[in-house]
A = this chain, B = another copy of it.
Amino acid sequence: MRFDLVDLKLFLAILEAGSITAGAARANLALPSASARVRGMEETAGTPLLVRSRAGAVATPAGEALAHHARLILQQSERMRGELSRYGRGLKGHVRLWSNTAAFSVGLIGDLARFLARHPDVDVDLQERPSREIAPALRGGLIHIGLLSDVGDTLGLETRTYGEDVLMAVLPKGHRLANTPGAGFADVAALPFVGLTPGNAIHQLIETHAVALGLPLKYRVRVNRIEAVGEMVQAGVGVSVLPTADALRVAERTQVEVFTLPEAWARRRLVVAVRDLQALPEFARQFLDGLGG
């Protein structure tokens, strides 16, 4: 079969080294073998892949395309090797899990850590994906479990509520707002603000609503670690807004006040979904049991 993994590895080695000669050496092949392999690939593709010159070889556009895919394939193959070798050393299973961003803030990390501690012989492959990609992946059998927002299309999947993503305000200790009945986002947004770095989904949600209220947030500082938010607020730099789980953790470690935002947009239902509970492997079901426990 043409385009075996040796072919792909060799081709990348040639591009990196700049010549077939040097690439062959890197791939532990004799020069004639490398040359023959390249010729074979070019015959199969029906187009030149390398431009040979006095100084060496560079890729044609077709060669670039080949290299692009070769990198992806070899990377995937490397990941596979790694996983399988762990099975050889006693691993019992691999839970494949996709989650939207929100679920990370609702205790997923905690559940995950607890599960991994209790089941040292089960690995978890967790990836963050938009909700709308998760349902098709479940249907196609690509993953075992999905955590997604319930506004998406979950037809034909088995689901149960995982949690709610509710935002909380974080204030310096003793701040008057903490004991003000009826306080809401508008009150918080009017104060100096400790923000997360742009691109963060929660940040964007908050920003959006602040602008909608005609209250553009007054950022004193922007940080990219949740813990840093707590320290900044504690120091009196400003106030902030975090998902419940993060806010409570921050409240444990630093001297701050928190309260739940009453606005409807601060609350989103998250569901855990599987294609077929019966068909789920044992280890995946164990993981499911630990979710939200």
Q: Which A residues contact B (CB, under 8 angstroms)?
A: 1, 3-6, 44-47, 61-62, 64-66, 68-70, 72-73, 76-77, 79-81, 83-85, 87-89, 91-94, 96, 130-132, 142, 151-153, 197-199, 204-205, 208-209, 211-213, 216, 263-265, 281, 283
A5-B5, A208-B205, A265-B208 in contact; A45/B76 too (CB < 8 A)?
no
Asked if A46 and B151 sit within 8 Å, CB to CB, the answer is no
Asked if A65 and B84 sit within 8 Å, CB to CB, the answer is yes
Total copies of the chain: 2
Residues of B within 8 A of A91 (CB): 61-62
How long is the Cα–Cα vector from A3 to B72 in the complex, in angstroms?
16
How long is the Cα–Cα vector from A94 to B66 in the complex, in angstroms?
11
Residues of B within 8 A of A281 (CB): 61, 64
Asked if A61 and B92 sit within 8 Å, CB to CB, the answer is yes
Asked if A265 and B132 sit within 8 Å, CB to CB, the answer is no
8 contacts between A and B (CB under 8 A): A1-B4, A4-B4, A47-B88, A61-B91, A61-B281, A76-B76, A151-B204, A205-B208
CB-CB nearest in chain B for A46: B88
